[in-house]
A and B are shown apart, each in its own frame.
Chain A
Amino acid sequence: MKKHIQMQLNGQSVEFLCETSGTLLHALRDSLQMTGTKEGCGSGDCGACSVMMNDTLVCSCLVLAVECSHADIRTVEGLAAGDALHPLQQAFLDNAALQCGICTPGLLVAAKALLDKNPDPTETEVRYWIAGNLCRCTGYDKIVRAILDAAQRLRGNASVNELQP
């Protein structure tokens, strides 16, 4: 029998039905049509499905939907405030930190979790933090720069790019 689940999704209350074996990832993508969260492996290895669950960064493919009863879930779709992009989103665009873009939603959610915790990370800290988010296109260089750039913007300083001629 399907289970009825109510949870907070990006600040809104949502309800859906799921099988006990269904993952949060599938609930988001199939039941709630929130396809911003991506599936790259279904086994915790790629990070494309990263979401925040009760303020903790998790792989939504490794969370059962039934575990999310009354949980607070945040996905890439909740990052921008209306049409104002989050500084991380803007930094990803400005630094060309995406090529195909399939890893981008997961990376943005992961990066936000980092900057919420550590507003001034080093390059190494960024690299280790996002090690669970595979990107096959960029070689990570521009992603790391974008995260450091966004951190700087969020700390209230000018963007790294604006400082350069």
Chain B
Amino acid sequence: MEYCAPETLAEVCAALSNADGPVRVLAGGTDLLARFASGMPRPSMLVDIKKLAPARVIRQLPDGSFEIGAACPGIHIRADKLLGKYWPGLSEAMDLIGSVQIQGRATLGGNLCNASPAADAVPALIAARAHCRIVSVAGQREVPVEEVIISPGRTCLRQDEFIVSFILPARASRSADAYLRMTPRTEMDIAIAGVAVNLTLDDSGVITDSHVALGAVGPVPVFAVAASRILLGSSLDEEVLQRFRRQVSVMCRPISDKRSTAEYRTDVTAVLAARAARIAYDRAAADIAS
């Protein structure tokens, strides 16, 4: 196995396209190295993108949108106060990944490209309507996050492509997100279920925009459009929440595995969805007050 750590976009692209065997992007390595240790065949080339400046930035653009480098470790994302103010749900979702040690390395790009149905940051990215900037020698394309994972462990990226950064759209006022997950342990655990909710309210507290994404309840994270529609036009009253819960349940297509039964996943996803909606709503409403 060869290793390189290029510092420019062009060099990364070249390294990815010129490799003559299997090549892999190395970000934090928290998935990749753990899998090497358990016997996964190693590629002939590892391209470390942590030295690539554009993949390490977190910044708010003039239009209010955010760009987060795909190779930013969790600790940097969590430490970014401005990002946390606008996107508390995403910030918390990222923070839930692993331990402090894992946070020192794990990245958003790795979390997405590992393509696990249970990845914590992915539902939050989807509910945020985030896009990723995918780059290769052939140029650049922007893809909505929900289109990246095509099946467990597989993404829509070609071998010579990589994600350089994520774009989160500008925040409307009175809007906020939240992410909740269920794990048996308080920390160091993989989600049995995860729910991200991103809501926008009008000035009377009525929901005008709503996005919901579910983790660990299907082969890929679920962008639950039908469920999110139920919240539109409501102020999250009990009856709407009940319908929302039911619709979320309907949209779960979980499997039973070592971590949970399918039935439990469905039930608990509905519970988390209602709780996350409440948190997102209260956060957005607090914005009204301010």
Instruction: Give A residues with C-beta under 8 Å from B.
Output: 3, 20-21, 23, 42-45, 47, 50, 53, 56-59, 61-64, 66-67, 110, 113-114, 128-129, 131-133
Contact = CB atoms under 8 A, between A and B. Distances in A.
A20 B46 contact: yes
Which secondary structure dominates chain A's binding surface? Answer: mixed
A30 B104 CA distance: 24
Contact of A42 (B5, B28, B37): B37
Given A21-B1, A61-B33, A64-B3, A43 B38 contact: yes
Interface in B24-39: 26, 28-30, 33-34, 36-38
A47 B99 contact: yes
A63 B101 contact: no
B42 A110 contact: no
A91 to B, nearest CB: 19
A45 to B, nearest CB: 7
A59 B101 contact: yes
Contacts of A113: 100
A163 to B, nearest CB: 29
Contact of A67 (B36, B48, B104, B188): B48
16 contacts: A20-B3, A43-B33, A44-B30, A44-B98, A44-B99, A47-B99, A53-B104, A56-B104, A58-B104, A61-B33, A62-B28, A62-B30, A63-B33, A67-B3, A110-B101, A132-B188
A67 B42 CA distance: 16
B186 interface: yes
B26, B33, B37, B100 pick with most chain A CB within 10 angstroms: B100
B105 interface: yes
Contacts of B99: 44, 47, 131-133
A46 B150 CA distance: 32
Given A21-B42, A44-B34, A62 B186 contact: no
Interface centre among A42, A53, A61, A132 (most CB of B within 10 A): A132
Contacts, number: 83
Interface of B: 1-3, 5, 26, 28-30, 33-34, 36-38, 42, 46, 48, 50, 73, 75, 98-102, 104-105, 186-188
Contact of B73 (A43, A56, A63, A128): A56
Contacts of A53: 104
Contact of B101 (A3, A57, A64, A66): A57
A88 to B, nearest CB: 16
B187 A131 contact: yes
B228 to A, nearest CB: 31
Given A42-B37, A56-B75, A62 B3 contact: no
Contact of A132 (B3, B29, B50, B187): B187
Given A23-B33, A58-B105, A62-B34, A67 B5 contact: yes
Contacts of A62: 28-30, 33-34, 101-102, 105
